[in-house]
Amino acid sequence: MNLKPVLKNGTSQIIIDFISLKVNETRSNGVVLGLSGGLDSSVVAKLCLDAIGAEKVLGLIMPLAKHQKKDTDETISFAREFGIPYKKIDPFKVLQSYKETLDLEKEGMAINNLAPRIRMIILYYHANCLNRLVMGTGNKSELMMGYFTKYGDGGVDYLPIGDIYKTQVRDLAKELKIPQTLIDKIPSAGLWEGQTDEGEMGITYDLLDKILYGLEQKCTENEIHNSTNIPLNEIKRIHGIIQRTAHKRMMPQIPKID
């Protein structure tokens, strides 16, 4: 059994048509998205560009630390190469203000989650001012794992690549002629120096996607193990993460009052 997810023919056109449809049916003037210098945001930006044209796309570059200077420079180069309008915003002062005002935890996940939530606020501010939609850049692997900040990078209007796995995003990027340097770049949210997505999740995307795809195909944990040779305890760990993060993938639940 082959559990490597394969990019379906026509995927890019399906997404392009989806973006165009959503902009038209909501009578929006276009889209706003965060440009991080990573592969996912670059792919979504190119798809938006192909769907509605450069004049209706705005990429916001929002670095939060000095260690992101290289990412910022690469992002600007990418935007210029593809003709994507962009705006660079420094949210550092906002983050510092939050830290001083809250006077609580100075390090750790609570602080790390502030950054994507501040970016979300900035994205929606621009979207509201310009009558635009916020396009998210999360992929299926991240969504299934709950690897995003609730009401942060998860706070968007639409997720164009939300139904394709990270390994499929790489294939889609080649089709869209995204620079190879971005395709090969180590995925990172850039929340602190040296942070990587695979390091935080404790598994490579190549292995993760096989597990996720197997679970999506209703394979048992043992079947996935026999097909991939991935340790059974690792498959169980990933399955547990999916179950624990289910609340992040749905609207807030409401108790039914008869």
The CATH number for 36's domain is 3.40.50.620
DSSP 137: -
- The pLDDT assigned to 46 comes to 98
Across residues 236-244, what is the average pLDDT? 97
In-domain check, residue 238: no
Across residues 66-94, what is the average pLDDT? 88
Q: How many domains does the chain have?
A: 1
Residue 222 CA: distances (Å) to CA of 62, 141, 203, 207: 43, 21, 18, 15
Closest by CA to 26, choosing from 136, 154, 132, is 132
More confident: 16 or 92: 16
Rounded CA gap, 196 and 210, in Å? 20
Strand partners, 228: none
Strand partners, 34: 60
Tell whether the model's pLDDT for residue 1 goes beyond 80: no
Tell whether the model's pLDDT for residue 18 goes beyond 90: yes
Across residues 202-223, what is the average pLDDT? 96
Q: Which range marks the domain in which residue 119 is found?
A: 11-200
Indicate the pTM of the whole model: 0.93
In-domain check, residue 113: yes
Residue with tokens 């597990």: 211
Closest by CA to 49, choosing from 23, 27, 67, is 23
How do beta strands 133-134 and 31-34 pair? parallel
Q: What angle do CA 133, 135, 141 make, to 5 degrees?
A: 155
More confident: 215 or 103: 215
Tell whether the model's pLDDT for residue 221 goes beyond 90: yes
In-domain check, residue 4: no
In-domain check, residue 213: no
In-domain check, residue 221: no
State pLDDT tens for residues 40-79: 999 999 999 999 999 999 999 998 766 577 788 889 999 9
